[in-house]
Amino acid sequence: METNNTSIPAERLPRKHSGADMTIFSVMSMLAQECGAVNLSQGFPDYPIDARLMENLFEAARKGMNQYAPMAGLPALQLEICAHVTRQTGVACTPDQVTVTPGASYGIYTALATILQAGDEVIILEPAYDSYIPAIEVNGGTVVPVALQPGTFAPDWQLIADRISPKTKAIIVNTPHNPTGTVWSTADWEQLYQLIAGKQIYIISDEVYEQVIFDGVPHHSVWSHEGLREHCFAIYSFGKALHNTGWKVGYVLAPADLSKAFRRIHQYLAFSVNTPAQGAVAAFMAKQQVNDSSLILEQKRNYFIELLKDLPFTIPYISKGSYFQLADYSAVSDLPDTEFAKWLTREAGVATIPISAFYRKGSDQRLIRFCFAKKEETLTEAVNRMKARLL
Ligand code: PMP
Ligand code: GLN
């Protein structure tokens, strides 16, 4: 993958991680803007959020919720989250297990900062969300990447077992999965449990798309697994469930002792999270228990997949959750994926994400990722533009 890692001289600033200086999401969104392209790259909705949420935000500010919130989160929001977790998982949850965070990436970073000592190993399953590797490395950990199986993106349990060592401190799981749209079953969680039972290995479970899941497939949280719950940090982001990625409000669910350790770090990083946004989300959750984000996004996935049938792409795996659909472009071009994504942005006017960005060593499988969390007219326009250039 193309990076600009040499832009800051090493003698001026040591590099703390091996990630790109600018994430692929910024690179492609900027290129989209520059080229006037339809932006199906970075994962964010282009449709409006629920009007009640906007009113709640104004109301919270008007009521004077404008000063620091308590460090672990607004109590009203923590209680709503506890009720939500219990409904979702059938497992009790108390506020000492919930810490509100400024988004999920922060939650992942802070969970790693909480547990890692220099030299600890962390297993990630590739393709993996791009913040994991820098967050591990900045906190002194060593990344141990394990590839998901080509085509199905299912975990290869033997490969994972082979990479577990006495230095393994944590495994990062992501379900529903960005970028592939795969979803873990209870059998997957049980397999993982069998591999780590009796060992002091933490699970960081990135479940930001728990409420963006399709075809009636249930979301299985790490919190539902009795054996794993004691060793987990489960990570969530309201940005996905409420379509407001820019609010950057999320939370981390962990047993009380781990939450206490997490807060030891959190109180010296962000300390607390945007008070009126917490108030707005709490008020929204109090009134509306059923979230329709899965339904809205499933319709968009179906609409987009139908449109894609007119294009010379193949779909390796139909997304079962998340904002994203992968497509194989090998029938169209021999270019490496990053070059192809840039070519498609410039030449067809449609921006996507190359999947090599989700690998430490840039494995190129001629795959790009489309974000379908968009208005139908945006998706139609993108496909029309690609038809005009590719057919
Ligand atoms: N994890 C995954 C898998 C994601 O796709 C994202 C981005 N939406 C995040 C974490 C980060 O979420 P947030 O914007 O809440 O930091
Ligand atoms: N999670 C978003 C994606 O996968 C990107 C968020 C970001 O730009 N950091 O597209």
Contact status, residue 251 vs residue 236, Cβ threshold 8 Å:
yes
> Ligand 2 centroid vs 343 CA: distance in angstroms?
21
Domain formed by 51-287, architecture:
3-Layer(aba) Sandwich (3.40)
Q: Is 360 exposed, middle or buried (0-12, 13-18, 19+ CB in 10 A)?
A: middle
Q: What is the pLDDT of residues 137-187, one digit of tens each?
A: 999 999 999 999 998 999 999 999 999 999 999 999 999 999 999 999 999
The average pLDDT across 19-28 equals 95
Q: What integer pLDDT is reported at residue 10 of this predicted model?
A: 76
Atom of ligand 1 nearest to the CA of 105: 16
Whether the pLDDT of residue 120 is over 80: the answer is: yes
Contact 210 CB / ligand 1 (< 6 Å): no
Give the ligand 2 atom nearest the CA of 131. 9
The amino acid at 126: E
Q: What does the DSSP assignment read for 165-213?
A: -TTEEEEEEESSPTTT-----HHHHHHHHHHHTTS--EEEEE-TTTT-B
Give the up-direction half-sphere exposure of residue 218: CA atoms within 13 A in the CB hemisphere.
10
What global pTM score does this model have?
0.97
CATH of range 24-49+292-390; options 3.30.200.20, 3.90.1150.10, 3.30.70.20, 3.50.50.60 = 3.90.1150.10
The pLDDT of residue 8: 73
Best residue among 24, 129, 172, 213 to mutate for probing ligand 1, ranked by most atoms within 8 Å of CB: 129
pLDDT at site 13: 85
CA 238 vs CA 14, 186, 281: distances in Å: 34, 24, 8
Which ligand has the nearest atom to the CA of 369?
A: 2
Closest CA to 322 of 179, 218, 189, 222: 179
Give ∠ CA 242-234-250 in degrees, rounded to 5.
35
Q: What is the pLDDT of residue 4?
A: 47
Domains of the chain, residue spans: 24-49+292-390, 51-287
Say what the pLDDT of residue 190 is: 98
Average pLDDT over residues 215-225: 97
Whether the pLDDT of residue 26 is over 90: the answer is: yes
* Confidence band, pLDDT 50/70/90 cuts, at residue 290: low
Q: Enumerate residues lining ligand 2, CB below 6 A.
A: 23, 25, 42-43, 178
Work out the angle at residue 52's Cα, subtended by the Cα atoms of residues 51 and 54, and round it to the nearest 5 degrees: 65
Mean pLDDT for the chain?
95
Encoded tokens for 250: 């999320």
Q: Please report which confidence band the pLDDT of residue 289 belongs to, taking 50, 70 and 90 as the band edges.
A: low
Task: Choose the weakest-confidence range: 7-21, 261-275, 329-343, 367-381.
Answer: 7-21
pLDDT at 375 over 50: yes
Residue ranges of alpha helices (H) inside 244-292 are 256-266, 275-287
